[in-house]
Amino acid sequence: MDNIRVSIIIPVYNCGEYIGPTLKSVINQDFSGYEIIVIDDGSTDNSLEVINSTLKDCGVKYKIIHQENSGVSVARNHGIDVAAGEYLVFVDGDDLISPNHLSELYNGKSDFSLIQFAKKDGDYIYPQNKDFNQDYISTDEFIKKELNMEIVFNFFQIMYKTSIVKENNIRFTPGLVYGEDTEFALKALIFGDTIHISNEITYFYIQRSGSAIRTSEFRRFDIVPIFENLSKFYRINGKNQLANLIIYSRIPRAIFGNMNYFFYSCYGFDDVIYVMKKRDLLYKLSRFRGDFKFNLKVRLFLLNPRLYYKMWFKFKNSID
């Protein structure tokens, strides 16, 4: 693979204001043997100009790919296709990584590695890390913890073995605007054995006003069909226990969590319930099997949704 140990894939769309600092953080790694792959997804601002000027004479191998605007999934897939590294790492075009990001992730032994991240909003940094008390975890155990929502992770925290991704044709689903990254990670993970864990925070997710996470509307519920398709994918690949966890744990938890998110964000009760009924989410929520406390909240809600909402609104932070 050209002696390249890691390929860093960076999709860019109209990030001219931010891509310079992002690329500088990628160039400034205390790690050798990596390449930078930047996919310009049809930017109409000065992104491509900034990319070229920043990477020119940077001393790191790089590829700049320009494509017509096709979305972030297609851009990342393009990056995977041309990657020459032993492992894949993903960085968004307006985020930052610390100089030890690759050295914390790479060990050349495990199929996957994981670091911790923080959200950065202006001068404020909010660690999101979940400290692990082990250096390695099996992929099955990790997936089970995610499906039971004992842990929460983002796909960019993980380094992926390239051969696993390419040989099993794991790609981001074009057209999805919410949850495509979670789907990618949870598909890839079942084809490996172990994840190396670092509790170091080396990725900084930059929050900006108007970003997708802040303007997200009912498409947050789009995660449900994504998980349903993932359940089918797991069954095809002989992972029936994980497939059942999706149906009876992860999907109900996602529905309930997003419902409370909408309530907390002051969406109208009738609007939320209308969408849930239209998408048959009340039935899918009722299928939950698991711990008593969460099951009780679900049953109380299903028994009388409006009463639950009134009680939730009165005691917001105690029952959500």
Detail the DSSP E strand segments found in 76-207: 87-90, 96-97, 112-121, 124-127, 136-138, 158-161, 194-206
**pLDDT above 50 (res 214):** no
Share of the chain above pLDDT 70, in %: 95
Confidence of residue 6 (pLDDT cuts 50, 70, 90): very high
| Confidence (pTM) | 0.92
Q: CA–CA separation, 133 vs 123, rounded Å?
A: 30
**pLDDT above 70 (res 320):** no
Homologous superfamily of domain range 6-213: Spore Coat Polysaccharide Biosynthesis Protein SpsA; Chain A (3.90.550.10)
Query: Domain residue spans in the chain?
Result: 6-213, 216-319
Mean pLDDT of 291-301: 94
For residues 295 and 256, the answer to whether their CB atoms sit within 8 Å is no
**pLDDT above 60 (res 1):** no
Mean pLDDT of 195-216: 75
**What's the confidence (pLDDT) of residue 283?**
98
pLDDT in tens, 132-157: 888 999 999 999 999 999 988 999 99
DSSP-assigned states of every residue in 102-129: HHHH--SSSSEEEEEEEEEETTEEEE--
123: how many CB neighbours lie within 10 A of its CB? 5
Confidence of residue 210 (pLDDT cuts 50, 70, 90): very low
Burial of 218 (0-12, 13-18, 19+ CB in 10 A): middle
Bridge partners of 158, per DSSP, are 114
**What's the confidence (pLDDT) of residue 140?**
97
